[in-house]
Amino acid sequence: MMVTGGSRGIGAATARMAGARGYHVCVNYHRNPAAAEAVVADVEALGGGAIAVAGNMAEPDDVDRLFAACDERLGPLSVLVNNAGVITTAARVDEMTADRINALLAVNVTGCFLVAKAAIRRMSSRYGGSGGTIVNLSSAAARLGGAGSLVDYAASKGAIDTFTVGLAQEVAAEGIRVNALRPGLIETDIHDDTGLPNRLSELGKTVPMKRTGTADEVAEAILWLAGPQSSYITGAILDVGGGR
């Protein structure tokens, strides 16, 4: 299994849980090797196998290097968790610069395409592969819109919803299932990057279930969509947001 952005938050929870359940996990990270190595150590302590590999998923050469390392050290890939994603300081659309928008889309949209492409070239029967599953990380923001603060982020996740539906149909007959998850407000560091203090605690009260979610609650759903229990599901988008 490969988890992009597996060093922290939802990706790290997914990598740890997958390792505990017998997957060999490639933990990709961008800037934080210590966090990635800590995830690897946790997986190993649980009796599993994992490797940490650096790479910015917005950079095609880094994506190629990541997959080459995974091929060499873990063997054939059967699951991709397309998780790496970023959010930016809260701003209105009329305040956003082209550089800001392009930098966000490069990771959240182009990066997801590049990583899925590399996985398909390994998994698809079209290339001699034996199939697999891809789980893309969207967001409840794709439905809600992010007005006043995060419309660029929300729109990038809207693109992931559409990407999931189209890609699922494209590779369905080649042994690959593609699904997405739309997490709601999940307790990770990503919210700090909005610059909005208390974002999680304040918005958590507005969720129908009256609380934020944990990375482990999302990881459970990711592993279900990645595994054989969901064998007849492709092109689906699962909300994991406490009713929101």
Query: Which residues are identified as catalytic?
Result: 153
Q: Is 23 in the site for ligand NAP (CB under 6 A)?
A: no
Q: Is 84 in the site for ligand NAP (CB under 6 A)?
A: yes
In the complex with ligand NAP, the residue whose CB is nearer, 74 or 124, is: 74
Q: Round to whole Å and give the CA distance between 161 and 138.
A: 6
Q: Is 83 in the site for ligand NAP (CB under 6 A)?
A: yes
Which residue has tokens 């990771």? Answer: 107
Structural contact between residues 193 and 86, judged by C-beta atoms closer than 8 angstroms = yes
Question: What track of x and - describes contact with ligand NAP for positions 132 through 161 (by CB under 6 A)?
Answer: -----x-x----------------------
In the complex with ligand NAP, the residue whose CB is nearer, 38 or 174, is: 38
* R_g over Cα of the chain: 17
Q: Is 16 in the site for ligand NAP (CB under 6 A)?
A: no
DSSP 12-46: HHHHHHHHHTT-EEEEEESS-HHHHHHHHHHHHHT
CB 5, min distance to ligand NAP, A = 2
Kindly tell me which residue out of 1, 2, 4, 24 binds ligand NAP, with binding defined by CB under 6 A: 4
Q: Round to whole Å and give the CA distance between 236 and 222.
A: 12
Q: Which two tokens stand for residue 131?
A: 């199939």
CB 35, min distance to ligand NAP, A = 5
Q: Is 203 exposed, middle or buried (0-12, 13-18, 19+ CB in 10 A)?
A: middle
User: What residue ranges bind ligand NAP (CB under 6 A)?
Assistant: 4-5, 7-11, 28-32, 35, 56-58, 83-86, 107, 137, 139, 183, 185-186, 188-190
